A = this chain, B = another copy of it.
Amino acid sequence: MFEQLGLIGCGLMGGSFALAMKQAGLVKQVVGYSKSPTTTAKARQLGVIDVEAPSALLAVSGADIVLLAVPVAATEDSFKAIRHLLTPQTLLMDVGSTKGDVVAAAQRVLREHLGGFVPAHPIAGKEVAGVEHADPRLYVDRQVILTPTEHTDPAQTDRAEAVWRALGAQVLRMTPQAHDSTYAAVSHLPHLLAFAYMNGLAAQPEGAKFLAMAGPGFRDFTRIAASDPSVWRDILLTNREEVLAQSRHFRAALEALEQSLTDQRADVLVPLIEQANKQRGAWRLPASKDSD
């Protein structure tokens, strides 16, 4: 049980966390801050937070648990804004989709407070953003990846895990590096490829005519191309090295397929398709993961 949650960023992710914490009886009071005062006011009107803080620092004042739920690119500035009121007992978490950069920022800024910081990535979300869509059940049955660093106090990691489990989530631990390469491989690169594919169509005069004939295969393949540009700007830029490394693996595989077409070598092409078919055919979505 926590006395006070300091919430920095009252959007969908942060707002849902606050609601879930309250509903689970895990926190007595939520003090919230958003960059936009309108958002903070709306969060209070909706009962997502109890008290509006005029600054990130004041949201942390008196808090024994702090959630940083801001765009990844704003993480370092947020650390700077709050570090003077963190105590060794404060459990500090973020919700960023990349972890190496967040950990690097924490190491630069938090220094002696690093022990209380447990980097977290809840694999949850909605097609819509904003505190008005905050949902106390957003994290139920979702995976939350914790990426403690060598400086993280193991007791704080255990507390963080207990919190997310109490909200209904499944908790996994990884190193920040393993997290970033994993998600570069299974999420960030597919987004990059889907963006590139749509842009490759758009670059052609017949692009619109082609699109009009597209079917369900296209629909599913390109669904992620409609993802939020500012979210994906941050993810792709902050995790760019892992994403570019994954893209090199992809390009090599694409070149092998293309070469077999150029050479008209069915005997080379077929095993390549069969490998892809077999890998995908054997894959199953983990039962709990019906949203990412």
Least Cβ distance of A287 to chain B in Å?
12
The docked-state distance in angstroms from the alpha carbon of A92 to that of B283 is 41
The residue from B217, B229, B275 contacting A190, defined by CB atoms under 8 A apart: B217
Q: Are B253 and A199 in contact (CB under 8 A)?
A: yes
Quote the shortest CB–CB distance from A124 to chain B (angstroms): 10
Residues of B within 8 A of A273 (CB): 195, 229, 232-233, 236
Stretch at the interface among A80-88, A131-139, A243-251: A243-251
A291 at the interface (CB under 8 A from B): yes
Min CB distance A111 to B, Å, is: 26
**Complex contact A216–B290 (CB within 8 A):** yes
Report whether A250 and B200 are in contact in the complex, using a CB–CB cutoff of 8 Å: yes
Minimum C-beta distance from A261 to chain B (A): 4
| Residue of B whose beta carbon sits closest to that of A274 | B229
**A190 CA to B211 CA in the complex, in Å?**
13
What residue of chain B has the Cβ atom nearest to residue A254's Cβ?
A: B196
* A1 CB–B CB distance under 8 Å: no
Q: Which of A197, A224, A230 has the most CB of B within 10 A?
A: A197
Q: Is the CB of B218 within 8 A of A221?
A: no
Kindly report which residue of chain B lies nearest to residue A273, judged by CB atoms: B229
Q: CA A185 – CA B217 in complex, angstroms?
A: 12
Q: Mark A177-210, 1 if CB is under 8 A from B, else 0.
A: 0000111011101111111111111111011011
Q: Are B216 and A291 in contact (CB under 8 A)?
A: yes
In the complex, the chain B residue whose C-beta lies closest to that of A228 is: B277
| Smallest beta-carbon distance A271→chain B, Å | 9
A253 cross-chain contacts in B, Cβ below 8 A: 195-200, 203
Give the docked Cα–Cα distance between A200 and B248 (Å).
8
Q: Which residues of B contact A262 (CB under 8 A)?
A: 240, 244
Question: Which residues between 227 and 282 of chain A lie within 8 Å of chain B, taking CB atoms?
Answer: 227-230, 232-233, 236-237, 240, 243-244, 246-247, 249-254, 256-258, 261-262, 264, 266, 269-270, 272-277, 279-281
Report which of B192, B206, B246 forms a contact with A254, defined as CB distance below 8 A: B192
**A276–B185 contact, CB under 8 A?**
no
Show the binding face of A for B, using Cβ within 8 Å: 123, 143, 181-183, 185-187, 189-204, 206-207, 209-230, 232-233, 236-237, 240, 243-244, 246-247, 249-254, 256-258, 261-262, 264, 266, 269-270, 272-277, 279-281, 283, 285-286, 289-292
Q: Which 10 A-B pairs have the closest CB atoms?
A: A215-B292, A199-B253, A196-B254, A198-B276, A200-B249, A195-B276, A186-B214, A200-B250, A225-B280, A200-B253
